[in-house]
């Protein structure tokens, strides 16, 4: 007879067909990675042979076949009735004596290994198909925690076996075309980590939304980890950049409750509140995050593919453990040579918002379902709105056009399954199930960055798919203009030579929202309403200035990391006074100007005593990104620098706050957006490392047109293609060649006018920075020396209009 039980030390990844993917992975890591410092709790697994032996000896196999005969796999009700009968039959059956004795002996040996009796263990299911060893059926079966004692262990093992026939598992196998009787179940028994006294979570060694491979996402909550997957608690999230092994982004959520072990004789787990003062504190330290990320990279390197990993921190031992690892198969399997973009035709009224999962858009009639008992009411194509989901909801999730939940983060069950199914999903709306009503027609958009939106009505949207496999590149560097940090990872897959313009303004307006001087002067603010507003946004920050530095640094770091090690040129804040005034508290610090476009903006603010302290915060954020996070590919750029004297004053001010030109390779560019920058280009070239043409402002300043006043635009002569503007640009490129100073362009013109981009290339400009949506088209145009060419296969689908139309170019 084949072995009935195997300890982890005797299991490898080659044993998937014997002990399932989950247990095979644990054995593989226990054997191969412990020597590299990865800590895995010891344990053992029952084998597929043990499962089949149990079913044959007890007569269960025939009994189950009879129960499932003529099963209607399309009926949720029929699956529920039959599944319940099968599970009851399994629980009533007896283990063969030799299997029972081997289970007890293995449990005693494991207890002895940890120098105790009746060791507390986690009992986990690991299903597999013997003729399809790669099918691990992750998430379809149950796990049971905090099991202690031989009697409790035997019961938990049987419950795991019964979970092979839960309603969701039966439905899943029917959908995938698997024969119920060619599936076996292995039960893993592993030392229980006391994360009820510590914390636990999930980590992915790939960005779960874009597929960007250079990050590790670590999610963490207090207590047992089930509450992350169930969506009961929105987790703290940390993003670690692999090349520098540094945290580049962190989000701390309010964690009101946690799951811990139950009391003796009661339920195995129970929910308790988290102490108020700990709710907004990180549930894990930075040092622990980096330790986990290191382990994640070791595991990924061992398996040679992105991984989905569960971890736990023992609150008694103060030690971290890896408790499960499986290959990430959804994001990593995408074709990176096909660029897919969803875009709304128009925005509507926002009903609810939360975290976006994926980057798609879906629409339909809402069905609000708050209990799994009601899922039979759900119809294909409807939008599922609920509090949260678990595996029992999967039969209707796969037929939904979109999903919206009140609770959960990017690693909750709803997010994981939606990602796998390719269904747009917005999680963590908090009150979506209250605001969105059954019968409403809505559009769910996950195509606008980090935030996902539920719009009223059915809005038209487009799907653009472009195959870039054979995209030719021109001699001129093609860079990108990036505003939103959330879009950086996805944009990095578009062929590019880096970022010619990263804008601070978007980060300030959307990440920070508060005027920097209002944060610095928070203690002396007299407006109580204003102070409460700032307090709510800066929760967890005693020093309000740190809020600005952290949020700005994280936004910048996401962009710099996305394109690492290529150059990323960050422009210091270029808000005008009226735009600064619109920030929270901004009206207290900004003058009212008749023409802000030509007023106190750009370089003139940075050394001015009225704003210098605010500029110091920008410098601190950039210093953090370059020095603490190791992203030395980040360069900086001054906007609206009117004179060389002003440029020198800014460089001196930067040095005062820790940013000295050329130290650690720091290059400083200047925007060429005033005719003076170009007329005196030789002088500016002595001070700065490069020029970036701001064609919008240069056109305005050259032609005397206020670009904020649309009625003054003169058709045919007011755009960047005017000969006066082109003459200035041509001269600047010549000076750049003569002085060996880089010249690029980040203005709108080459994105709008392909022929203008060709003019720049022909003149020998070093780089052209484009909006992401035109990079592929313009790259192909320039590579063809100005001839319109077809890029691979481009397909545009219009959805939501009166007619569904597909056009090919």
Q: Which residues are catalytic?
A: 413, 746
Alpha helices, H only, 14-95: 16-32, 48-58, 60-68, 76-92
Dihedral angle computed from the Cα positions of residues 498, 504, 505 and 510, in that order, rounded to the nearest 10 degrees: 100
**Tokens representing 797?**
């689908």
- Do the Cβ atoms of 196 and 168 come closer than 8 Å? no
| CB-count exposure of residue 50 (10 Å: 0-12, 13-18, 19+) | buried
Mind spelling out the 3-state secondary structure of 498-522?
CEEEEEHHHHHHHHHCECHHHHHCH
Q: Are 169 and 137 in contact (CB under 8 A)?
A: yes
φ/ψ (deg, to 5) at 364:
165, -175
Sign of CA dihedral 173, 174, 178, 184: positive
Residue 400 near residue 383 (C-beta atoms within 8 A): yes
Distance of CA 163 to the CA centre of its chain: 31
What string of DSSP letters covers 752-791?
A: H-HHHHHHHHHHT-SEEEE-GGGHHHHHHHHHTTT-----
Q: Cα 589 to chain center, whole Å?
A: 36
SS3 315: coil
Residue 346 in tokens: 């128009």
Structure tokens at 754: 């392909």
Q: How many CB atoms lie within 10 A of CB 372?
A: 18
Lookup result for tokens 């054997």: 31
Binning the chain into helix, strand and coil, the percentages to the nearest 5 are: 40, 25, 35
Contacts of 734 (CB under 8 A, 6+ apart): none
- Calpha distance 796→361 (Å, rounded): 14
What secondary structure does DSSP assign to 446-497, as a single string? --SSSEEEEEES---EEEEEEE-TT----SSEEEEEE--GGGHHHHTTS--S
If one counts every other C-beta atom within 10 angstroms of the C-beta of residue 29, the result is 27
Sign of torsion over alpha carbons 237, 242, 243, 245? positive
* Distance set, CA 134 to CA 14, 162, 457, 599 (Å): 10, 22, 43, 65
Neighbouring residues of 373: CB distance < 8 A, sequence distance ≥ 6: none
- CB neighbours of residue 96 within 10 Å: 15
Packing angle between helix 76-92 and helix 150-162, nearest 10 degrees? 150
Which one, of 369, 422, 376, lies nearest residue 395 by Cα? 376
């Amino acid at each position: 007879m084949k072995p009935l039980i195997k300890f982890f030390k005797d299991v490898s990844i080659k044993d998937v067909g014997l002990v399932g993917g989950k247990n095979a992975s644990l054995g593989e890591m226990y054997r191969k990675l412990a020597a590299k410092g990865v800590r895995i709790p010891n344990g053992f697994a029952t084998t597929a042979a043990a499962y089949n032996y149990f079913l044959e000896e007890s007569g269960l196999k025939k009994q189950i076949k009879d129960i499932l005969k003529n099963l209607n796999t399309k009926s949720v009700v029929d699956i529920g009735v039959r599944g319940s009968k099968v599970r009851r039959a399994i629980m009533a059956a007896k283990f063969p004596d030799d299997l029972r004795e081997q289970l007890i002996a293995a449990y005693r040996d494991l207890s002895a290994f940890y120098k105790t009796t009746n060791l507390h263990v986690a009992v986990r299911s690991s299903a597999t198909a013997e003729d399809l060893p790669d099918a691990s059926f992750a998430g379809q079966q149950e796990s049971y925690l905090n099991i202690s004692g031989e009697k409790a262990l035997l019961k938990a093992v049987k419950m795991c076996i019964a979970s092979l026939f839960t309603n969701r598992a039966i439905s899943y196998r029917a959908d995938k075309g698997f024969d119920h009787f060619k599936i076996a179940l292995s039960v893993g028994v592993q030392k229980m980590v006391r994360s009820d006294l510590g914390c636990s979570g999930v980590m992915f060694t790939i960005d779960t939304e874009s597929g960007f491979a250079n990050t590790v996402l670590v999610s963490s909550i207090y207590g047992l980890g089930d509450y992350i997957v169930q969506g009961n608690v929105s987790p703290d999230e940390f993003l670690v950049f692999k090349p520098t092994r540094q945290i580049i982004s962190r989000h701390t959520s309010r964690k009101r409750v946690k799951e811990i072990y139950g009391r003796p004789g009661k339920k195995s787990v129970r929910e308790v509140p988290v102490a108020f003062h700990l709710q907004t504190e990180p549930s894990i330290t930075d040092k622990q995050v980096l330790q986990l990320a290191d382990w994640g990279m070791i595991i990924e390197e061992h398996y040679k593919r992105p991984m989905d990993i569960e971890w736990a921190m023992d609150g008694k031992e103060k030690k971290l453990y890896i408790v499960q690892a499986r290959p990430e198969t959804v994001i990593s399997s995408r074709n990176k040579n096909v660029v897919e973009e969803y875009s709304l035709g128009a925005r509507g009224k926002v009903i609810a918002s939360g975290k976006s999962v994926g980057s798609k858009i879906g629409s339909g009639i809402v069905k609000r379902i708050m209990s799994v008992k009601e899922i039979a009411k759900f119809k294909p194509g409807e939008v599922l709105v609920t509090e949260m989901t678990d595996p029992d909801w999967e039969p209707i999730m796969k037929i939904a056009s979109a999903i919206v939940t009140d609770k959960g983060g990017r690693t909750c069950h709803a997010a994981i399954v939606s990602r796998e199914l390719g269904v747009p999903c917005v999680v963590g709306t908090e009150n979506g199930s209250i605001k969105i009503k059954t019968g409403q027609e809505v559009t769910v958009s996950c195509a606008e960055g980090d935030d996902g939106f539920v719009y009223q009505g059915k809005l038209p949207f487009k799907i653009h798919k472009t195959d870039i496999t054979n995209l030719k590149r021109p001699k001129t560097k093609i860079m990108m203009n990036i505003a939103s940090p959330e879009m950086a990872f996805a944009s990095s897959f578009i062929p590019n030579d880096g970022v010619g313009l990263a804008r601070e303004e978007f980060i300030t307006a959307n990440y920070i929202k508060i005027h920097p001087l209002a944060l610095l002067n928070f203690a002396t603010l007299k407006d109580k309403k204003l102070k409460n507003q700032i307090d709510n946004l800066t929760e967890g920050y005693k020093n309000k200035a740190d809020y600005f530095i952290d949020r700005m640094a994280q936004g910048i770091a996401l962009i710099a990391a996305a394109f690492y090690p290529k150059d990323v040129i960050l422009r210091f804040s270029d808000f005008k006074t009226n735009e600064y005034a619109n920030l929270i508290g901004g009206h207290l610090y900004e003058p009212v100007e008749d023409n802000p476009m030509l007023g106190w903006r750009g370089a003139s603010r940075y050394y001015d005593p009225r704003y210098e302290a605010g500029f110091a915060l920008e410098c601190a954020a950039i210093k953090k990104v370059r020095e603490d996070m190791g992203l030395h590919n980040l360069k900086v750029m001054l906007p609206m620098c009117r004179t060389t004297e002003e440029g020198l004053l800014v460089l001196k001010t930067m040095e005062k706050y820790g940013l000295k030109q050329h130290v650690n390779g720091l290059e400083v560019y200047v925007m060429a957006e005033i005719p003076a920058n170009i007329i005196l280009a030789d002088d500016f070239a002595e001070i700065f490392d490069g020029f970036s043409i701001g064609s919008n402002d240069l056109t305005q300043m050259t032609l005397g047109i206020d670009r904020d006043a649309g009625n003054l635009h003169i058709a045919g002569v007011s755009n960047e293609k005017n000969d006066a503007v082109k003459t200035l640009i041509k001269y600047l490129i010549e000076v750049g060649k003569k002085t060996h100073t880089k010249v690029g362009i980040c203005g709108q013109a080459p994105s709008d006018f392909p022929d203008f981009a060709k003019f720049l290339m022909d003149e020998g400009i070093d780089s052209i920075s484009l909006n992401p949506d035109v990079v592929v088209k313009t790259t192909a145009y320039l590579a063809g020396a100005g001839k319109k060419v077809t890029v691979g296969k481009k397909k545009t689908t219009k959805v939501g209009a009166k007619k569904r139309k597909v056009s090919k170019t």
